[in-house]
Amino acid sequence: MFNPKKRLASKHFFLGGIYPPLEIDNISKNSTKGLDIASHNLQLSFIQGLRLYYEDLEVVSVLPVSSFQLGYNQLLVPSSNFMLNGSSKNHSVGYLNFPFLKHFFILFSLFYFLRNILFCKQKYIFFLYGLSTPKLLSLCILKLFKNNINIVVYIPDLPNYMSSTKNIFYRSAKYIDKIIIYHLLKKIDKFILISKHIAGKLNLLDNYIVVEGIYSNLHADTDYISKEVVPTIMYAGSLDNSYGVKHLIEAFKCLKNKNIKLWLCGTGPHEKDLKELAKYDSRIIFFGFVAPNEVIQMQKKTTLLVNPRLSFHEFTLYSFPSKLLEYLASATPTITYRMKGIPDEYYEYCIIPESESICDLAKSINKYINLPNHDLISFGIKARAFILSEKSVNVQSERIFNYINS
């Protein structure tokens, strides 16, 4: 059992997939399938929390983009070093982004990079984000040659539940991927789960902690931003059926009020459809990809935020909608459905429709956009206080550190 308290005897790394902050606009332009900003933000918060306790932490990232010509326009993803929150100890490992073979290139590049930096006999502790086969396999191969490596994994979802594609080749590859991952689980020393239900799926008994989200206090400013004059509803996230975007659109269509707006931010499969829809309904404004910091400011301006994800999807059991943290922290009242992946303590600070029908979602929107402003402000402030006091980087990273030391 390892002991992170011995800081001088250990070297700490974060291994995940984030977008270098200064490159995010360029990466977005080269991506035709959009960026996973929710995952990016959660990893940034995780890194910020780890650096409160491990000042030597180095970040090793593999750029999370689609394969060449299958969603991303560059064949070569270059290696680079980048700045992150004032620290220069951040590395992006390059790879050949060739379709179907990219994971082998990632494995080779990552193993080669890590092998060259792990040259001392001291203890190495890796905080791995996600059950990515190339990343986990590279660490496990290194453990065969070095017995001074420990792995702590933060599992934000189960990969085989996060895609709705019916492509037989993709599903076959995911099945093989699942077998490899489950075989490698025994090499992991500690588990941080985003949902308690993941423990049962992975047959974990008690060697885990549940951390469903981490809200970064880098965004916890107290600046007041005036609300839009016209009642405005907003959704920011993936434009995919499994995330309930069409469900939200249909509910919005039920509203007869001509003096309301629906703001849509994000990218995904239904981007073209939403652009066309916005042409015929002037109440709908489609922004496409918006930089994370700008999204946060927009959330503060709106009347209501909506997380339309429906609970019948099996993946909702093994995940947590991280946008919910941002929504609540914005102090803008938030509508969401009940899901098994969301702890009950959140619902006191959310608006819950009577059912998951389009009609009931429309009723909830209509009811709350017509409430007095002081009622909406009071509701939002309570939600924000809950996030800042219970789910902040300081609070969640302390829980993680105590667990690692237990």
Residue 25: CATH number of its domain = 3.40.50.2000
SS3 state at 391? coil
The tokens 């080749």 sit on which residue? Answer: 169
Do 78 and 204 sit in the same domain of this protein? Answer: yes
**C-alpha distances out from residue 236 to 109, 194, 240, 263, Å:** 34, 21, 12, 8
What DSSP element (H or E) covers 263?
strand 261-265
Do 352 and 383 sit in the same domain of this protein? Answer: yes
- β-partners of residue 209 are 192
Range of the structural domain that residue 301 is part of = 232-390
Do 243 and 337 sit in the same domain of this protein? Answer: yes
Do 269 and 197 sit in the same domain of this protein? Answer: no
Do 175 and 196 sit in the same domain of this protein? Answer: yes
Do 240 and 305 sit in the same domain of this protein? Answer: yes
Give the model confidence (pLDDT) of 211-247 as tens digits: 999 998 665 555 667 888 999 999 999 888 889 999 9
Pairwise CA distance, residues 279 & 288, whole Å = 14
Residue 332 lies in a domain: yes
pTM of the model: 0.91
Do 202 and 309 sit in the same domain of this protein? Answer: no
- Residue 147: half-sphere exposure toward Cβ, Cα within 13 Å: 1
**Tokens at 153, concatenated:** 């994994």
Residue 292 lies in a domain: yes
CB–CB of 402/57 below 8 Å?
Answer: no
Give the model confidence (pLDDT) of 256-286 as tens digits: 999 999 999 988 888 888 888 888 899 999 9
Do 173 and 46 sit in the same domain of this protein? Answer: yes
At residue 219, the pLDDT reads 55
Do 35 and 146 sit in the same domain of this protein? Answer: yes
Pairwise CA distance, residues 397 & 46, whole Å = 8
Do 161 and 99 sit in the same domain of this protein? Answer: yes
Do 53 and 139 sit in the same domain of this protein? Answer: yes
Is residue 167 over pLDDT 70? no
Q: What is the mean pLDDT of the chain?
A: 90
- β-partners of residue 351 are 335
Phi and psi (nearest 5°) for 346? -75, -30
CB–CB of 53/152 below 8 Å?
Answer: no
Do 205 and 65 sit in the same domain of this protein? Answer: yes
Q: Residue 14's Cα: distance from chain center in Å?
A: 16
The letter for the amino acid at 96 is: L
Task: Provide the number of structural domains found in the chain.
Answer: 2
